[in-house]
A and B are shown apart, each in its own frame.
Chain A
Amino acid sequence: MGGRAAQVAVRLAAALLVLLSIAAAARAQQPEPPPEPPPEAAEGDYTLERADSLDDAEVEVAIGAASHGGSDVRGSQRVSFRGGGARGTLRDGDEALSGGRVEAPLAGGTLAAGRLAPRWGRGLALGGAGEPWVFSAEDRGAGAQYRGRSGTGLAYEMGGASVFGGRFSKHGVFGARARAGAGALGVIAGAGTAQASLGLDGEQRSLELAFDRQGRWRSEAALTGEVGETRVALRVRGGLVAFRSLAEPARAGPSQALAAAATRALAFADVSAFGALWAWRPGQAGARAALEVDSRLGQHGAFACGAEDQHGPRREPTSRARPTGTRQGWWCEWRGGSPGARLALRHELWGARALARDAVRRAVVARADWAVPFGGRLALTHAVWRVRSGESLYLPEAWSDRLVLRASSGAGSRTRCELRLPLATGTIHLGLSLATGGGAPGAAGSASRRPTWSVEWSRRTRVAAGAPARVTRSVPSRGSGHEIRGTDGATHELRVVRHARAREGAGSEGAEHRPPGDR
């Protein structure tokens, strides 16, 4: 780190200690930042596929169509199933999430085919997060919140052993891993080289050492635990700059990182603190610290606010990249109402100077939704933003089976109207989006854009053994009618996502992103 970066690091470390001491008594999870497009994603909108919510012996079928502006209309189909140890999702016609994945029991193990998103240990060799402050990737490994797609191929797992082979990052990659107790040893080969991973996985602590044939290595350890009533998590990473995951080089992340999080439930609110320091290479360091307060207001209401401070590049910079300055921001969010009519408001401001002065990003979001006759739901979301040139912003758009991050720039607004109604033993989802002003970074001009629409009918059926099939209502992605937080998807799904625009190292196999301007 350079002298200035070292100074920043020391100050951030001090701030981190203060935050940790403030939060020194926590329950609950570590702060959950909103998902961001991963490093390998190209410019433009990005779509995260939700992990399916099927119970055993359930099948869900969906057909739909969507316009992408003007007369460009595309149909799509989706089938998801789970039962007898098998599960899978197959999609067709869906540009953002085409393909699928199928798992089936075979010879005492499980065979998986299609899209793969494995994770080994801490993710140094396979399934890393990419962002310096993220403890575990949200779209890698079993049990992830979103279904990732780092490659395509076959995988087989039996007991503590697993093998996989497929196409990752535009070349063939094969891997094998064996686990014994908490220990694990894995080897990955492809593109004329090989890497190995040694790991220890425990409930509250995990460690991984990954290295390649040239002697390049990285190591990471993570600890979670409780200090009094405070839940804390700590992550430390070290190694050589030149080490890159063979399967997912874009997600290598920084070579050195230190991150900590603490959460405590106080009488009036849950308080979370977070801090991270990292170095991509000598002279290119960054830091981030955040404090978040989340308070419930009565039975259905909630208020949350937070402040955040960032220094240095969030994504791996190139040698030509301009130095990334300070970004300081704050946000607040309120949700209230009753199950019949709800309102959520959010404001977010980021500035290039202390106390969010010299604004570079500002966004205001309002969402209202109402119960409508026949058990339906109508929702209207309106977002307005203004982003300084060179900055980027993503607006999350929660769908029933995905989270779409809409790339936005300049000044503009986006409105989405959604209607969900029971229809023909299933559920129909109708969506209409209007956008004006700044769109995907790089898109020409700021003129009004054509409205886009989508329609999807889905039906979820439970197949009970020995009994006729009975129809169950499609599980709404927005929870029960008595919930407020959680009914609009995860709490972070109203949040604005922001990050530096630089996307060096893109290239892993991911069809999730959509090209700029393709709406």
Chain B
Amino acid sequence: MRAALLALLLARSAAAQDFAGASPAGSTRAPDGLLDRALPSASPSFSASVSQTSWWGLAGLETRAAAVSASVHTWRAALGLSQTGEPEIGWTAVGIGFGAASRNAGAGLRACARRDRDAPWSVARAFGSGAGVEAGAGAWIVPADGVRVWASAPQVWTGGAAPPLARPLELGVRAGEGSAAWVRLVAPRAGDDGERALGLSLEVSPVVAWAEVRDAPLRGSVGLTAAVSALRVGARVDAHPVLGETLRLSLAWVGEPRRSP
């Protein structure tokens, strides 16, 4: 019952899931882009990141994730492990992503397997019967300087146990790098009419502050990221009129030639 309630809550109001960090939407160098949205980073890099999400302040409902990503020329790959909730109601997720990207375009594939935490975790069990598996794809291009357009379908295919969050196709356009504005459109799911979001970010080096407002129901998110050398710290708060606030914290080490927002 608790698991069903949790799934319902997540499906209705969460913006992302197991591997989402605190980066704003549409960032070209978000370390979680490939794992979470199948959107590879524009620049080659090696990164290691951890994040923690506290869903609506509910005790015992937290997501902890760790991920690494690497690049070889234009190829990108990422691997992540995530755990959500207490053993009785929670799950463990393993994610993997592959993609290719240049400065002007990128495309990726992602896959994720989930397993309830009601038994000790193992790799064999993660992909055995009873697990939930999902696979998706995403692509982005830069049609003009400073403008990025993306399409992300994280759950093109699902198998086994249903994922706790239905994530349909998302389209977005973002203008700017550090200081930027973006618009997102999330396709409808069974039972809702999709979602539309508008966001703004402002960069005052080395800090980027951002905010996003979404409809259905009207709610918003604010976030702050800071980069010091190769270290990035991020925090994000999602406010929901009924469920309360969700807090995400992320810490990443990113080895790349340029500093990212």
Contact = CB atoms under 8 A, between A and B. Distances in A.
B57 interface: no
A347 B185 CA distance: 9
Contacts of A336: 141, 143, 149
A345 B168 CA distance: 14
A359 B169 CA distance: 18
A383 B107 CA distance: 17
A343 interface: yes
B141 A298 contact: no
The 4 A-B residue pairs with the shortest CB-CB distance, nearest first, are A366-B151, A384-B187, A336-B143, A386-B188
B59 interface: no
8 contacts: A336-B149, A337-B141, A343-B105, A368-B107, A380-B137, A386-B193, A410-B190, A413-B169
Interface of A: 297-298, 301, 334, 336-338, 340-343, 345, 347, 359, 362-364, 366, 368, 370, 380, 382-386, 410-411, 413, 415, 434, 436-437, 446, 448
Interface in B185-226: 185, 187-191, 193-194
Given A336-B143, A337-B143, A384 B149 contact: no
Contacts of B139: 341, 343, 366, 368, 380
B171 A366 contact: yes
Given A336-B141, A347-B185, A413-B156, 6 more contacts: A341-B104, A343-B140, A364-B185, A382-B151, A384-B187, A411-B190
B143 A298 contact: yes
A353 to B, nearest CB: 14
Which of B140, B191, B194 counts the most chain A CB atoms within 10 A?
B194
Contact of A341 (B105, B158, B187, B194): B105
A406 B149 CA distance: 27
Which label, helix, strand, loop or mixed, suits the secondary structure of the B interface? strand
Size category of the B interface is 20 to 34
A382 B194 contact: no
Which of A347, A384, A410 counts the most chain B CB atoms within 10 A?
A384
Contacts of B119: none
B153 interface: yes
A417 B81 CA distance: 28
A386 B188 CA distance: 6
B242 interface: no
A341 B185 contact: no
Contact of B190 (A334, A434, A437): A437
A341 B193 CA distance: 30
A446 B189 CA distance: 13
Nearest to A362: B188
B151 A345 contact: yes
B157 interface: yes
A436 to B, nearest CB: 8
Nearest to A346: B171
Given A298-B144, A336-B141, A345-B149, A384 B169 contact: yes
Contacts of B187: 362-364, 384-386, 413
Nearest to A382: B153
Nearest to B153: A382
Contacts of B137: 380, 382
Contact of A337 (B105, B185, B188, B193): B105
A386 B192 CA distance: 9
Nearest to A410: B190
A385 B185 CA distance: 13
Given A336-B149, A343-B151, A366-B153, A446 B185 contact: no
Contacts of B144: 298
B73 to A, nearest CB: 15
Contacts of B157: 415, 434
B171 A347 contact: yes
B100 to A, nearest CB: 9
A364 B169 contact: yes
A448 B156 CA distance: 12
Nearest to B101: A341
A359 B107 contact: no
A383 B105 CA distance: 21
Contacts of A382: 137, 151, 153, 156, 169
B122 to A, nearest CB: 27
Contacts of A338: 104-105
Contacts of A347: 171, 185
Contacts of B140: 343
B190 A386 contact: yes
B107 A370 contact: yes
Interface in B120-165: 137, 139-141, 143-144, 149, 151, 153, 156-158
Given A338-B105, A340-B105, A411 B171 contact: no
Nearest to A370: B107
A385 B190 CA distance: 9
A489 to B, nearest CB: 19
